[in-house]
Structure 1
Amino acid sequence: MDRNFARALPLVLKHEGGWADNPKDPGGATMNGVTLATFRRYVKADASKADLRAISDDQVATVYYRHYWAAVNAQALPSGIDYAVFDFAVNSGPARAAKYLQSIAGVSVDGRVGPQTIEAVSAMDAAKVINKLCDARMSFLRKLKHWPTFGNGWTRRVDDVRRDALAMVGQPADVKEVTVTKPVVPEAVEEKVKEKTGLWQKLTGFFGAGGVGGGLLWGVDWQTLAVIAGAAILVLLLIVLLRRQIVNAVKDIREGLA
Structure 2
Amino acid sequence: MTAAGFARAQPHVLAYEGKFSNHPDDPGGRTYEGITQRVYDAWCAANGQPKRTLSKDTGKWAGWTEQRDAIYRKQYWDAVRGDELPAGVDFAVYDAAVNSGPGRAIRWLQRALRLNRIDGVFGVATLAAVKAHPDKDLLVAAICAERLTFLQALGTWKTFGKGWGRRVAAVKATGQAWATGSVGPAPDKIDDASAKAVIESAPPAPSTAGADAAIGAGSGTATVGTVIESVRQQIEPYAGASERVQQIVVALIVLGALVTFGGLAWRWYTKRKAARLAEALA
User: Shorter-normalised TM-score: what interval?
Assistant: 0.5 to 0.7
Give the alignment of 1:235-250 within 5 angstroms.
none
Match of 1:61 among 41, 60, 69: 69
Q: Which residue identity is paired with 2:58?
A: R
Give the alignment of 1:176-215 within 5 angstroms.
none
Deviation at 1:114, TM superposition (A): 2.1
Please give the secondary structure, in 2, of the residue aligned with 1:88: helix
CA distance in 2, matches of 1:77, 1:49: 32
Q: Report the counterpart of residue 177 of structure 1 in structure 2.
A: none
The reply to whether residue 100 of structure 1 matches residue 105 of structure 2 is: no
Match of 1:157 among 139, 156, 167: 167
The reply to whether residue 46 of structure 1 matches residue 51 of structure 2 is: yes
Q: Report the counterpart of residue 16 of structure 2 in structure 1.
A: 15
Q: 1:41 to 1:169 in 2, by over 3 A?
A: same
Q: 1:159 to 1:144 in 2, by over 3 A?
A: same
Q: Report the counterpart of residue 79 of structure 1 in structure 2.
A: 87
Q: Report the counterpart of residue 236 of structure 1 in structure 2.
A: none
Q: Is the 8 A contact 1:127 1:169 kept in 2?
A: yes
Q: Report the counterpart of residue 137 of structure 2 in structure 1.
A: 127
Please give the secondary structure, in 2, of the residue aligned with 1:110: coil
Deviation at 1:50, TM superposition (A): 4.3
Q: Which residue identity is paired with 1:161?
A: V
* Larger relative contact order, structure 1 or 2 (CA cutoff 8 Å, min sep 6): 1
RMSD over aligned CA atoms reads: 2.0
Give the TM-score of the pair, scaled to structure 1.
0.63
Q: Deviations over 1:77-109 (max 9, x none)?
A: 111000000000111110011011112223322
CA distance in 1, matches of 2:128, 2:109: 12
The reply to whether residue 145 of structure 1 matches residue 161 of structure 2 is: no
Deviation at 1:110, TM superposition (A): 2.1
Q: Which residue identity is paired with 1:105?
A: L
Size of the aligned set, in residue pairs, is 173
CA distance in 1, matches of 2:182, 2:124: 22
The reply to whether residue 70 of structure 1 matches residue 71 of structure 2 is: no
Q: Report the counterpart of residue 276 of structure 2 in structure 1.
A: none
Q: Which residue identity is paired with 1:154?
A: W
Q: Report the counterpart of residue 110 of structure 1 in structure 2.
A: 119
Q: 1:51 to 1:138 in 2, by over 3 A?
A: closer
Please give the secondary structure, in 1, of the residue aligned with 2:163: helix
CA distance in 2, matches of 1:150, 1:51: 21
CA distance in 1, matches of 2:4, 2:120: 21
Q: Is the 8 A contact 1:73 1:114 kept in 2?
A: no
Rg larger in structure: 2
Deviation at 1:52, TM superposition (A): 7.9
Q: Is the 8 A contact 2:19 2:33 kept in 1?
A: yes
Give the TM-score of the pair, scaled to structure 2.
0.58
CA distance in 1, matches of 2:41, 2:139: 35
Q: Which residue identity is paired with 1:95?
A: G
CA distance in 2, matches of 1:83, 1:105: 16
Gaps of 5+ in 2: 184-282
Please give the secondary structure, in 2, of the residue aligned with 1:49: coil
CA distance in 2, matches of 1:115, 1:172: 29
Deviation at 1:74, TM superposition (A): 1.4
Q: Which residue identity is paired with 2:53?
A: S
CA distance in 1, matches of 2:55, 2:8: 29
CA distance in 2, matches of 1:118, 1:10: 25
Q: Deviations over 1:185-209 (max 9, x none)?
A: xxxxxxxxxxxxxxxxxxxxxxxxx
CA distance in 1, matches of 2:88, 2:54: 34
CA distance in 1, matches of 2:96, 2:158: 19
CA distance in 2, matches of 1:81, 1:61: 20
CA distance in 2, matches of 1:153, 1:24: 14
